[in-house]
Amino acid sequence: MRNHPSRRHFLGFVAAAVPSTRALADIRPAPPLGFPLVDYHVHLNPSFSLQDAVELSRKTNVKFGIAEHAGTKENGYPSIATNDAELHVWVAKLDGHPVFKGIQAEWIDWMSCFSKKALAEVDYVLSDAMTMETSGVRRAKMWVRGFEPGDAKEFMTHYVRWNVEVIEKEPLDIFAHPTWLPAPLDSRAEELWTEEPMKPIIRALQRTGTAVEIDSAFQIPSLAFLRMAKDARLKFSFGSNSGSGPARAIDFCVERAKAMGLTASDMFAPARANKKPFLRRKV
């Protein structure tokens, strides 16, 4: 099976366009916000080891949640946990280090790969809607170069429904990359993400108690979406969505949090072992 670029490698390609990306040696402490900062969307890669992550966390005063892809082999990632044994190896690798242990779930069938006992070893699960069934392709990776969404109105109708399905069918802690759009539509984000398509996603997040990621890589979602999320009393998390290099700065997340007046009580924190979404939700 051909491996497509993972999100982390794709984000490495666009890193040069993101002002907040810095070399490991040059990155500065994150701006203060009045409560402890956590970046729950960090990935390791050949140029960014666990030791690098621990060092960077100390330098920036940001605690990291480090996530591994998780799901079936059909997802085609070069690095992915596909069963209990592989998930346990991932968790054991992070044991004893000052980081949260996370997984980035792939597709909506990832729960079939793991027992509840194994999932209880991780602190949180995040996922997104960037892989979708479209144009006859079951797992279309929409960030891959050349993806064509077709008619914008038709795409948005299907895409909003897919966002809701991901949120409602997967027992997630965090919904990542909210309101992300494929490259051909990205410049039309303000036009396409009006209140009408945002409402069903907010309602799904509210029904399931899923936190909203503020994404410093793509610099999404908009303040309009975040205000709707806050009105719905949702929790928020920060994510640098690190690519093929070190974790990015989370300045954008901090700026959004200040603009929203977020406090510690608004922020996501991993649930206790007996309160995790895969236990409290019927999916």
Looking at residue 283, its pLDDT comes to 66
In a domain, 80, yes or no: yes
Per DSSP, helices labelled H in 124-248 are 152-169, 183-186, 189-192, 195-208, 223-231
Looking at residue 17, its pLDDT comes to 36
The total number of structural domains that make up the chain: 1
pLDDT, tens only, 217-249: 999 999 999 999 999 999 999 999 877 788 889
In a domain, 37, yes or no: no
Looking at residue 6, its pLDDT comes to 53
Q: Which of 266, 257, 247 is nearest to 61 (CA)?
A: 247
Q: Which of 188, 180, 125 is nearest to 152 (CA)?
A: 188
Q: Which of 44, 25, 241, 236 is nearest to 128 (CA)?
A: 241
In a domain, 33, yes or no: no
In a domain, 159, yes or no: yes
End-to-end C-alpha distance for the chain, whole angstroms: 29
In a domain, 27, yes or no: no
Token reading at 226: 């975040």
Q: Which of 228, 238, 231, 232 is nearest to 258 (CA)?
A: 238
Name the β-bridge partners of 69. 104
What is d(CA 91, CA 85) in angstroms, rounded to the nearest whole number? 10
In a domain, 2, yes or no: no
In a domain, 234, yes or no: yes
Looking at residue 22, its pLDDT comes to 47
Amino acid at 123: D
Residues 122, 106 contacting (CB under 8 angstroms): no
**Using CB atoms within 10 A of its CB, is residue 69 exposed (0-12), middle (13-18) or buried (19+)?**
buried
Q: Which helix (H) or strand (E) segment is 90 a member of? A: helix 84-94
Residues 177, 218 contacting (CB under 8 angstroms): yes
pLDDT, tens only, 17-37: 333 344 555 667 778 899 999
Domain that holds residue 133: 7-22+43-280
DSSP string covering 224-255: HHHHHHHHTT--EEEE----SSSPPP-HHHHH
Looking at residue 75, its pLDDT comes to 84
What is d(CA 202, CA 225) in angstroms, rounded to the nearest whole number? 8
Q: Which of 133, 127, 137 is nearest to 205 (CA)?
A: 127
3-state secondary structure of 195: helix
3-state secondary structure of 139: strand
Q: CATH number, domain at 196?
A: 3.20.20.140
In a domain, 35, yes or no: no
CA dihedral 212, 238, 243, 65 (to 10 degrees): -100
Q: Note down pLDDT in tens along the chain; length 283 residues.
A: 334 455 544 554 444 333 334 455 566 777 889 999 999 999 999 999 999 999 999 999 999 999 999 999 988 777 899 999 999 999 999 999 999 999 999 999 999 999 999 999 999 999 999 999 887 778 889 999 999 999 999 999 999 999 999 999 999 999 999 999 999 999 999 999 999 999 999 999 999 999 999 999 999 999 999 999 999 999 999 999 877 788 889 999 999 999 999 999 999 999 998 899 999 887 6
